[in-house]
Amino acid sequence: MQTMKGPGLFLAQFVGSDAPFDSFEAITRWAAGCGYLGVQLPTVEARLMNLAKAAGSRDYCDTLRGTAAEAGVEITELSAHIQGQLVAVHPAYDLAFDGFAPEAVRGDPKARQAWAVDQVRQTIDASANLGLDRMAAFSGALAWPYFYPWPQRPAGLVEAAFDELAARWRPLLDHAAQRGVKICFEIHPGEDLHDGVSFEMFLDRVEQHPAAMMLYDPSHYVLQQLDYLDHLDIYAERIGMFHVKDAEFRPTGRQGVYGGFQPWVDRAGRFRSPGDGQVDFKAIFSKLTAMGFDGWAVVEWECALKHPEDGAREGAQFVKDHIIRVTEQAFDNFAATGSDAAANRRMLGLEG
C-alpha cells in the first residue's frame, strides 16, 4: 500500500480568456490558492503550454515545472483527450469534430487524423521530458454509432472497427513504451473504449500492450449503471490515472440511461461536483489505496448545477478528506507474542 498523491485539478474546464485562467502562471497560482498540490494539463490548450516545444526541449519543460513549483503545485500528468478523439472519427461526426482541429486540416479527415496522431506522439514526448510516466487520452470511436443498433449490425462490423482502432494506436503505444510513458485511456461513453469489455477487445488486438492503461472515472460508470467498485477489482493492474468526478442516476417513468435528448440538468443521469452525487468515494479511495495505486487523485469538475470555482475549492478539500495516509504497522502489533519456526511447528502439533 501507499498514500495516494493529491489533490490535483484537471485544468481543461477552467482555462479561458479572463484572468486568472488565461495563463499557466496565473492559473497555477489560482489552483494552489484553492488548495491543490498538482495540476493536470490539456496539451491542446496553447494558453497553458507550447506542446511542440515541450516535446522537443527538456529546458522548456524544466521552465514549466519551475513555474508550477513557484506557484506551489506540480504537473501531475498531461492530457491529449481532444487529440486522441481525433485519432479515430466515424464519418457521422466529421463536421462536429472538425471544430477540435486546426483550420488547416478541417474538411480533410486524413489530414486531421495525421495531425491528431502527431499531437499524441508529441504529448508522449513532452510527458517524458517532464519526467511523467503516464498521460491521458480518449481512444476515439469508429463503432460508437452502432452501439445500440437498428437494424442489427452486420456480422464483423464491430470487429473491423476495433481492428482499425488497434492498428491506429499500436504505433503510439509502442512509442510510449519506448519513452517510458503509459497511455491511460479514459473509459467514456462516446468512445469505442467505454467499458471493461470494450477495453478488453482493444487489449486483445494490441496484444495486451503494457503501455495501454485506463483512466478511472467512476462518474461514467454511474451513468452506465456499471459496478464501479467491482471494476476496480477486475482491472487493478490496468488503472493508471484517477479522476475524482461525481454523478447521480435517478431514473423516472419518462427517462433512463439515454436521457431523452435533455440538457444535462434535466437528465436522469448527470454529473455533479465531488460529494454532491451518488459515488461511494470512501470505498473507491480504500480500494485504490489497498491495491497500491501510485497516481494522483485529480478533480475533474463537471457539474450541471454548481459554479465551477465553488466546485474547485470544495473539490480540493474533498480529496484531502478522502486520501488515506497508510499505516506503517498492523493495528494488532501490540498483541504480537513473537515466534520462530520451531514454535510455529509446536503450535501446529507437529513436534514431539
**What tens digit of pLDDT does each residue of 64-109 get?**
999 999 999 999 999 999 999 999 999 999 999 999 999 999 999 9
The answer, yes or no, to whether residue 186 has pLDDT greater than 80, is: yes
| Mean pLDDT, the chain, integer | 96
Confidence band of 1 (pLDDT split at 50, 70, 90): confident
pLDDT at residue 334, rounded to an integer: 61
Task: Tell me the residue length of the chain.
Answer: 352
Q: Are 82 and 45 in contact (CB under 8 A)?
A: no
pLDDT at residue 253, rounded to an integer: 97
pLDDT at residue 331, rounded to an integer: 65
Identity of the residue numbered 286:
S
- Helices 157-178 and 196-205: angle between axes, nearest 10 degrees: 70
Q: Are 325 and 268 in contact (CB under 8 A)?
A: no
List all residues 6 or more positions away from 249 whose beta carbon is below 8 Å from its beta carbon: 222, 223, 225, 257, 268, 269, 278
Angstrom distance (rounded) from CA 352 to CA 349: 8
Q: Domain segments of the chain: what residues?
A: 5-347
Provide the strand spans (E) within the chain.
5-10, 38-42, 74-80, 134-137, 182-186, 212-216, 239-244, 246-249, 269-272, 296-299
Kindly give the pairing relationship between strand 246-249 and strand 269-272. Answer: antiparallel
Note the pTM of the prediction, 2 decimals. 0.94
Please give the distance of CA 334 from its chain centroid, rounded to a whole number: 41
Query: What architecture is the 5-347 domain classified under in CATH?
Result: Alpha-Beta Barrel (3.20)
- DSSP annotation of 89 reads B
Identity of the residue numbered 100:
F
pLDDT at residue 336, rounded to an integer: 67
SS3 214: strand
Cell digits for 62?
A: 524544466
pLDDT at residue 26, rounded to an integer: 98
Cell digits for 277?
A: 452525487
Confidence band of 333 (pLDDT split at 50, 70, 90): low
Confidence band of 329 (pLDDT split at 50, 70, 90): confident
Nearest alpha carbon to residue 126 among 55, 176, 59: 55
- Which residue shows C-alpha cell 513532452? 126
Query: 309 φ, ψ to 5°?
Result: -70, -35
Kindly give the pairing relationship between strand 269-272 and strand 74-80. Answer: unpaired
**What tens digit of pLDDT does each residue of 249-304 get?**
999 999 999 999 999 999 999 999 999 999 999 999 999 999 999 999 999 999 99
- Which residue shows C-alpha cell 484572468? 19
The answer, yes or no, to whether residue 352 has pLDDT greater than 60, is: no
